[in-house]
Amino acid sequence: MISILQSSARATGVDETDVQAALDTAAAGGISPVLALIESGAVDERAFTRHLAEDLGWKWLETPQPEPDDATELKRLIPARFAVRHQVFPVGFERDATTQTRSRLILACHDPCDLMARQAVARQSELPVRWCLTPRNELLNAVQQLYGVGADTFDALLAARGANADDLHLRDEANVIDGEDEEASVVKFVNQIIREALAQKATDIHVEPQPDNLRIRYRIDGFLHEIPVPENIKQLQASVIARIKVMSKLDIAEKRLPQDGRIHLKADGQSIDVRVACIPSVEGESISLRLLGQERFTLDRLGLNEAHRQTIETLLTKPNGIVLVTGPTGSGKSTTLYTFLSQLNSVHRRIVTIEDPVENKLPGVVQIAVKPEIGLSFASGLRSILRGDPNVVMVGEIRDLETAEIAVRASLTGHLVFSTLHTNDAVAGITRLVEMGVKPFLVSSSVRAFLAQRLVRVLCESCKTPAKYKTDELTRLGFPEAKGKNLWRAATGGCQHCRGTGYAGRVALYEIALMTPAMQALVSQRASEAELHTQARKDGFVPMREYGLQKALSGVTTLDEVARVTSEELA
């Protein structure tokens, strides 16, 4: 077998010395030589497994897929716990040409040197086995798609409950988690859901009861994706929900009222805060989990172009004034504000925030959470903050006139204030404050800039493809000026790096409206929003739509993405 491995590795162009070093490591550590070769980085896994399959006379599967008609029987023959433990995947059956009866079970694996798995399969399978080879990540993804996330734990949990479990989802939570082994399985199952969400870089998990199912969805790059779950998961709906409520210190007996909680986790050495919202629905309690990593907030991560970055850096040097970030929920406003605070954070500045809720904890910053039930609102909290000698203040959101007026007074008395507004664009922030009741002369004298933003998906670098847009397409999208320019599209079907979406990650589109002397004069005269837009353009204002076009031309995103988040507001 070793000679076959060496031959397959050499076929990929790997140096013999590197191959031998990996094999020596495998022998010394008692691990599989296949895994040693791959984990050493000496070979490319796809190329290596493809050559290895040829040398073994096996079929190589780039992406294993089960035969749809055979899925139920395949899961019976190879249960989830067995597939996960031995890392094998049932692909389908070979059939007799005459009788069409099943003659062999086709199984995929990623390590032909795992003799224990081969022996276990021989004991488990009712049929002779024909083996195929596939890359490890592809095999694990296929297992998840066929059985569902956490299916191996789920199998154990159902087995512990016994056969008479048809109405378990109707029982009280007190009776659902009723055994030590079962409770441990529920814990593992919920942990697996969260772990998988973190691995896929999801920002939210939604656990939603349906009439005949428990739907679990991840929000990845701003879009919801339903994940495969084990069959009969409805039986464990109450257990799963109760476990999440226990983790977030919520009242598991209260099912009629909404509840909010928080979970603190550690994953791969990183602290993760999870914000939990539980709301009652007609099919049971629906739970949303917002995953908040303890990330580093730097200007580099915002993806600003050079001109916008210089503008932001200039604003952050000002000793006073208000900087307002505008945009809808989920547009990244909080991340931008935390980045500004991180840039300003030093032992020489006192920074105090009041938020609803505190999403990320910043070392050295005093952060206050709004609690309306005890009278701690943005306005009352901001009054107290200003009595505490701050240099920089951040208000989570300006929602009413009282909060706006206090923020204005704070800026006029020498404080640098950051906050957010819900408006469609940057210039609209001016009219929003005036409509709230703030005097125009106070807006013009206190606010330094309005920054609007949206998030667009970033093209996957591994599979993005050049695009040729037709003239009518560009007109429909609102970008006729892009005719003849080099543009990109997301690849149909994507690749393994982007989970088949064609996109990987998100970046913000910005527009910054500065309160220049000319703009101040117009605001004091109660000029219309159209007049303000015209003057802003004269002062160098670049609309978000143009900023997005530059991102599309540079290959960061697509015109479709830019149109998706900006066309309604700015077309």
Per-residue pLDDT of the chain (571 residues; tens, 9 = 90+): 677 777 777 777 777 777 777 777 777 777 777 877 777 777 788 888 888 888 888 998 888 888 888 888 888 888 888 888 888 999 989 888 777 788 889 999 988 888 888 888 888 888 899 999 998 888 888 888 888 877 666 555 555 554 344 433 333 333 333 334 445 677 888 888 888 888 888 999 999 999 888 999 999 988 999 888 877 788 888 888 999 999 999 999 899 999 999 888 877 667 788 899 999 999 899 999 998 876 678 888 888 889 999 999 999 999 999 999 999 888 889 899 999 999 999 999 999 999 988 888 888 999 999 988 888 999 999 999 999 899 999 999 999 999 999 999 999 999 999 999 988 899 999 999 999 999 999 999 999 999 999 999 999 998 999 988 888 888 888 898 888 888 999 988 788 778 788 999 899 999 999 999 999 999 999 999 999 999 999 999 999 999 999 999 999 999 999 999 885 443 3
Q: Is 100 left (phi over 0), alpha (psi -120 to 50) or beta?
A: left
Give me the sign of the Cα torsion angle 399, 404, 406, 408: positive
> Which residue from 431, 427, 384, 415 is spatially nearest to 543, judged by alpha carbons?
427
H helices of 345-424, in order, are 378-386, 401-412
Report the C-alpha gap between 496 and 110 in whole angstroms.
16
- What is the rounded distance in angstroms from the CA atom of residue 149 to the CA atom of residue 135? 19
Q: Which residues does 87 contact at the CB level (< 8 Å), separation at least 6?
A: 109, 110, 111, 114, 117, 136, 139, 140, 143
Q: Is 342 helix (H, G, I), strand (E, B) or coil?
A: helix
SS3 220: strand
SS3 content of the chain, % helix, strand, coil (to 5): 45, 25, 30
**Is the Cβ–Cβ distance between 267 and 198 less than 8 Å?**
yes
Beta strands in 244-397 (DSSP E): 259-267, 270-281, 284-293, 321-326, 351-355, 366-369, 392-395
Nearest Cα to Cα of residue 83 among 128, 146, 160: 146
Cα 149 to chain centroid distance, Å, stands at: 17
Question: Cα-Cα-Cα-Cα dihedral of 497, 205, 249, 229, to 10°?
Answer: -90
Q: Is 331 exposed, middle or buried (0-12, 13-18, 19+ CB in 10 A)?
A: buried
Rounded to whole angstroms, the Cα distance separating 244 from 512 reads 41
| Element spanning 139, H or E | helix 136-147
Report CA-CA distances (Å) from 563 to 82, 219, 505. Answer: 47, 21, 18
Check: CB of residue 522 under 8 Å from CB of residue 431: no
Tally of CB atoms within 10 A around 308: 18
CA dist 393 and 382 (Å) reads 8
Strands (DSSP E) contained in 398-494 are 416-421, 447-459, 465-467, 487-489
CA atoms within 13 A on the CB side of 127: 21
* Residue 357, preceding peptide bond in cis (omega within 30° of 0): yes
How far apart, in whole angstroms, are the C-alpha atoms of residue 405 and residue 322?
A: 12
Closest CA to 510 of 298, 296, 305: 305
* 62 vs 135: CA distance, rounded Å: 7
Minimal CA–CA distance to 507: which of 478, 548, 546, 539?
Answer: 548
Name the one residue in this structure whose structure tokens are 């890392």.
87
Tokens of 322: 């208000």
